[in-house]
């Protein structure tokens, strides 16, 4: 299961900033999706909702279908586009988990010093996580 703790904006890694509206559809070149003023978000989900990989795959297929039906994209290979959208969604949804894992590794390294100094694990976790979020310029 994948933890989803924030609204997800698909515009991150596969969709460039909105383009000025033109007549007609834009084509996909090397599976890079170009979109005209289209924003997909999962704001209806609760912050602590868990999403299975199968459900994320379903969402990716639905997003791809909506983009094609709305004539925001054209593609000869719908399955390949859905797979790229799925990969981008999984990447975004697992970002916080990867940051949390890195924080745990750092805290494990300094656990003896923290015990001696009486540092609070939860406070240190939050501080280090905030630093890593800034370092990676992540939006959680």
Q: Are residues 64 and 84 in the same domain?
A: yes
Q: What was the pLDDT predicted at 140?
A: 82
Domain range holding 26?
2-93
What's the CA dihedral at 15, 20, 23, 26 to 10 degrees?
-20
**Is residue 77 domain-shared with residue 17, that is, in the same domain?**
yes
Task: Please give the pLDDT value at position 13.
Answer: 36
> For position 57, what pLDDT does the model report?
95
84 and 102 together in one domain: no
* DSSP codes, 12-27: TTTSPSPPPP-SSPPB
What is the chain's pLDDT, residue by residue, as a tens digit (140 residues)?
443 333 333 333 333 333 333 334 333 333 333 333 333 334 333 333 478 899 999 999 999 999 999 999 999 999 999 999 999 999 988 999 999 999 999 999 999 999 999 999 999 999 999 999 999 998 88
Helix or strand holding residue 50 (H, E): strand 50-51
């Amino acid at each position: 299961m994948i933890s989803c703790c924030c609204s997800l904006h698909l515009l991150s890694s596969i969709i460039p900033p909105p383009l000025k509206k033109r007549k007609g559809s834009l084509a996909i070149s090397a599976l890079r999706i170009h979109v005209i003023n289209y924003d997909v978000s999962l704001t209806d989900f609760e912050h602590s909702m868990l999403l299975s990989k199968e459900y994320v795959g379903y969402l990716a297929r639905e997003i791809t279908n909506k983009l094609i039906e709305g004539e925001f994209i054209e593609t000869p290979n719908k399955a390949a586009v859905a797979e790229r959208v799925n990969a981008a969604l999984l990447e975004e949804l697992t970002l916080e988990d990867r940051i949390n894992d890195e924080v745990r590794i750092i805290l494990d390294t300094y656990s003896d010093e923290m015990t001696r100094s009486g540092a609070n694990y939860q406070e240190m976790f939050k501080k280090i996580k905030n630093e890593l979020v800034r370092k990676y310029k992540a939006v959680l």
